[in-house]
Chains A and B, each alone.
Chain A
């Protein structure tokens, strides 16, 4: 068994989906969280000088998209064939498109613009995103199971994590019915339920 060390800041951010994936896989890993000062000293040694970065035995893997797929492939969370892999990728891509809006708010310095962006997120972007997820979900088992195939995958974990993180800074609209069911299913997935109980918010 290789030794895994996930490096990030002391927040959820782009690392939490990877932490959740390790948890679902039942795979132990070192959850390294750098405070800012430590990060400044370590930064030059990290490929691309960005976090998250995953160390697997000696090797360093940068780029959150690469890390999440690496872990997903390693632990059967990426679908079982090209069609399923692709379904996971479509959901990752859709999520990234949505996250651009959420992240833009975070970086906006002008308070008036920030408020406008937040309003647009809550009134337009979030409902559109949820509606799209509902459609995608219904393509599989009429939306009564997971996003891909017959078991939990990176897609379910990622969507849960996004709703959790965005929900902390914006008012989420009500979940459409199948998506609401999926979110509950993920929160109550035994290994995730256990992890969330320890993590709290």
Chain B
């Protein structure tokens, strides 16, 4: 069994989906969280000088998209054939598109513009994203199971994580029915439920 060390800041951000994947896989890993001062010391040693970065035995893997797919493939969370792999990738891509809006809100310094972006997020971008996810979900088992195939995958974990993190910066619209069922299914997935209970305690 290789030794995994996930390096990130003390935050959910781009690392949480990877932490959740390890949890679902039942795979232990060192959850290294750098303070900003510590990060400045270590930064030069990290490929691309960015986090997250995954260390697997001696080797470094940068780029959150590469790390999440690496773990997903390693632990059967990326679908079982090219069609299913692709379905996961489509959902990853659609999520990246949506997250650009959250990122532009996050980085906007002008308060008036920031308000406008937030309003657009709540009134337009979020409903559109949820509606798109609802359509994608319904393509598989009429939306009554998971996003891909017959078991939980990176796609389900990512979508849950995005809704969780976005809800702390914007008011989420109501989930369409199948998506609501999916989010509940993921929150109650035993290993995730366990992980979330521990995570809650840490932030109290």
- In the complex, per-residue mask of A50-67: 1 if CB is within 8 Å of any chain B CB, else 0: 000000000001111110
B85 touches A69 (CB 8 A): yes
Interface: B90 (CB within 8 A): yes
Listed from nearest, the 3 A-B pairs whose CB atoms lie closest are A63-B93, A93-B63, A89-B66
Footprint of B on A, CB under 8 Å?
A: 47-48, 61-66, 69-70, 73-74, 82, 85-86, 89-90, 92-94, 96, 132, 135
B44: A residues at CB distance < 8 A: none
Residue of A whose beta carbon sits closest to that of B54: A86
B65: A residues at CB distance < 8 A: 89, 92-93, 96
Binding site secondary structure of chain B: helix
B90, chain A: closest CB distance, angstroms: 4
B69 touches A89 (CB 8 A): yes
B89 touches A66 (CB 8 A): yes
Given A89-B63, A90-B61, decide whether A65 and B74 contact each other with a Cβ distance below 8 A.
no
A61: B residues at CB distance < 8 A: 86, 90
A142, chain B: closest CB distance, angstroms: 17
Query: Which listed residue (A65, A66, A93) contacts B64, Cβ 8 A?
Result: A93
Interface: B62 (CB within 8 A): yes
Given A70-B86, A74-B82, A93-B64, decide whether A86 and B69 contact each other with a Cβ distance below 8 A.
yes
Query: Which listed residue (A63, A90, A94) contacts B89, Cβ 8 A?
Result: A63
Size of the B side of the interface (Cβ < 8 Å), in residues, is: 23
Interface: B132 (CB within 8 A): yes
Binding site secondary structure of chain A: helix
B36, chain A: closest CB distance, angstroms: 21
A68, chain B: closest CB distance, angstroms: 9
Footprint of A on B, CB under 8 Å?
A: 47-48, 61-66, 69-70, 73-74, 82, 85-86, 89-90, 92-94, 96, 132, 135
Cα of A66 to Cα of B96 in the assembled complex, Å:
12
Residue of B whose beta carbon sits closest to that of A89: B66
B86 touches A85 (CB 8 A): no
Cα of A64 to Cα of B74 in the assembled complex, Å:
24
Residue of B whose beta carbon sits closest to that of A86: B70
Which of A62, A65, A92, A132 neighbours the largest number of chain B CB atoms within 10 Å of its CB?
Answer: A65
Which of B64, B65, B86 neighbours the largest number of chain A CB atoms within 10 Å of its CB?
Answer: B86
Cα of A61 to Cα of B25 in the assembled complex, Å:
28
Cα of A74 to Cα of B96 in the assembled complex, Å:
24
B63 touches A94 (CB 8 A): yes
Residue of B whose beta carbon sits closest to that of A66: B89
A82 touches B90 (CB 8 A): no
A90 touches B63 (CB 8 A): yes
Which of A82, A96, A135 neighbours the largest number of chain B CB atoms within 10 Å of its CB?
Answer: A82
Cα of A78 to Cα of B55 in the assembled complex, Å:
22
Cα of A62 to Cα of B91 in the assembled complex, Å:
10
Query: Which listed residue (A82, A96, A132) contacts B74, Cβ 8 A?
Result: A82
Cα of A132 to Cα of B63 in the assembled complex, Å:
13
Cα of A63 to Cα of B90 in the assembled complex, Å:
6
B82 touches A73 (CB 8 A): yes
A65 touches B89 (CB 8 A): yes
Residue of B whose beta carbon sits closest to that of A62: B90
A85 touches B89 (CB 8 A): no
